[in-house]
Amino acid sequence: MAEVANRMQGMQQSAIRTMTARCQELGAINLAQGLCQVPPPASLLAEGGRDFGQLDHTYSPADGLAAFREAAAEKLKRHSGLSVDPETEIVTTIGATGGLMATLTALLNPGDGVLVFEPFYGYHLAALKMLELRPEPVRLVAPELEITEAALRAAITDRTRALIVCTPNNPCGRRFSEAELMIVSAVAEEHDLLVIADQVYEDIYFKPAPHLSPATVGTLGSRTLTMSSLSKSFSIPGWRLGYVCGPEELMGAVRVAADPLVGCAPTPLQELGVRALRLGDDYFSDLRAMYDAKRRTLTEGFRAAGLSPNEPEGSYYLFVDCSDLGVASGVEAAEILLQRNLIGTVPGEAFYLNPPERPYVRACFSLPDEVLADAVTRLANGR
Angle between the N-to-C axes of helices 267-277 and 66-80, in degrees from 0 to 180, rounded to the nearest 10: 30
- Containing structural domain, residue 136: 55-277
- Answer yes or no: do 72 and 171 share one domain: yes
Asked if residue 1 belongs to a domain, the reply is: no
pLDDT tens, residue by residue, 128-165: 999 999 999 999 999 999 999 999 999 999 999 999 99
pLDDT in tens, 43-81: 999 999 999 999 999 999 999 999 999 999 999 999 999
User: Quick one: 77 and 138 in the same domain?
Assistant: yes
Are residue 248 and residue 122 in the same domain, yes or no?
yes
Q: Using the 3D structure, point to which of 277, 302, 329 is the last residue of a domain.
A: 277
Strand boundaries in 246-309, DSSP class E: 308-309
Task: Report the predicted TM-score, pTM, of the whole model to 2 decimal places.
Answer: 0.96
* Residues 147 and 179 both lie in one domain: yes
Q: Based on the fold, state whether residues 109 and 127 are members of the same structural domain.
A: yes
Q: What is the CATH number of the domain that holds 253?
A: 3.40.640.10
Asked if 151 and 129 sit in the same domain, the reply is yes
pLDDT tens for 162-178 read 999 999 999 999 999 99
103 with 247, same domain: the answer is: yes
Domain-ending residue, one of 277, 297, 324: 277
Residue 364: CB atoms within 10 Å: 26
Clarify whether residues 269 and 313 are in a common domain.
no
What does the alpha-carbon distance between residue 100 and residue 198 come to, in Å, rounded to a whole number?
9
Give the total number of structural domains in the chain. Answer: 2
What's the one-letter identity of residue 207?
K
Residues 374 and 258 grouped into a single domain: no
Residue 328 sits in a domain whose CATH number is: 3.90.1150.10
Residue 212, in any domain of the structure: yes
What is the reported pLDDT for 383? 54
Judged on CB neighbours under 10 Å (0-12, 13-18, 19+), 263 is: exposed
Q: Write out pLDDT tens, residues 203-236.
A: 999 999 999 999 999 999 999 999 999 999 999 9
